[in-house]
């Protein structure tokens, strides 16, 4: 199979095939395409700032080492996030604890209004504490859905559950967070 010089136009499956055929630039394109999602997932799932880069790099190394096991029935990103999630779980087991860090905020408070900024900071803190207190599966489903925009089928593949269970975990997470913010 001949591959174009411009790998950016290829699908993930085509890039994987190109990499298997010896085109290193295909791997570079996959890394470029998915690094941000892996970093956001790990960071929001509780990986420490110092760990995110190492875990992201390790996830890609494992993925390329096991690329022949990716069947293509799940999206490459889902498969990659599963690998990253498993690495993070291993890291949590090693340290026996978790640390929650700030999430990206799409709408920042108006700095000219100190009351708005204070209120937004209090709500953010309550939300972060609420997310940190969610059971692990609810937290992961919530973060995949909200931050990554993943649908329930993709979440189910990443977390090795069913779409129905993912939907229920998301519902319970939202309910708990709403109760906390009242």
Same domain as 146, residue 95: no
Whether 58 and 13 map to the same domain: the answer is yes
Indicate whether 4 and 93 sit together in one domain: yes
First to last CA, the chain: 58
Write b or e for each residue in 124-157: b if 16 or more Cβ atoms lie within 10 A of its Cβ, otherwise e.
eeeeeebbeebeebbbbbbbbbebbebebebbbb
Considering the domain architecture, whether residues 46 and 129 belong to the same structural domain is answered as no
Judgement on whether residues 76 and 64 belong to the same structural domain of the protein: yes
Please give the structure tokens belonging to residue 65: 């080492």
Q: What is the pLDDT of residues 20-57, one digit of tens each?
A: 888 888 888 999 999 999 998 888 887 877 788 889 99
Q: Which of 74, 99, 124 is the last residue of a domain?
A: 99
pLDDT at 107 over 60: no
179 and 110 share a domain? Answer: yes
Other C-beta atoms closer than 10 Å to the C-beta of 170 total 18
**Number of domains comprising the chain:** 2
Closest CA to 128 of 101, 88, 91: 101
CATH of the domain at 122: 1.10.10.10
- The alpha carbon torsion through 170, 171, 173, 174 (nearest 10 deg) reads 110
Which residues form the domain of 45? 1-99
Q: What is the pLDDT of residues 72-92, one digit of tens each?
A: 777 899 889 989 988 888 887
Reported in sequence order, the residue ranges of the chain that DSSP labels E, i.e. its strands, are none
Instruction: Clarify whether residues 129 and 69 are in a common domain.
Output: no
Residues 10, 64 share a domain: yes
pTM score: 0.56
Report d(CA 38, CA 42) in Å as an integer.
6
């Amino acid at each position: 199979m001949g591959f174009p010089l411009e790998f950016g136009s290829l699908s993930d499956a085509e890039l994987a095939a190109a990499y298997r055929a010896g085109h290193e630039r295909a791997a570079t394109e996959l890394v470029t395409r998915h690094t941000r999602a892996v970093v956001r997932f790990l960071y929001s799932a509780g990986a420490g700032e110092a760990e995110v880069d190492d875990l992201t790099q390790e996830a890609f190394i494992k993925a390329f080492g096991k690329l022949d096991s990716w069947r293509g029935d799940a999206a490459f990103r889902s498969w990659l996030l599963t690998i990253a999630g498993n690495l993070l779980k291993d890291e949590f087991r090693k340290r026996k604890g978790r640390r929650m860090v700030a999430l990206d905020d799409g709408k920042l408070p108006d700095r000219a209004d100190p009351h708005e900024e204070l209120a937004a900071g209090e709500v953010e803190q309550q939300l972060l504490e609420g997310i940190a207190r969610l059971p692990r599966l609810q937290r992961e489903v919530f973060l995949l859905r909200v931050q990554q925009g993943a649908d329930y089928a993709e979440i189910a593949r990443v977390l090795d559950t069913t779409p129905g269970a993912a939907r229920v975990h998301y519902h319970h997470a939202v309910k708990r967070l709403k109760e906390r913010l009242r």
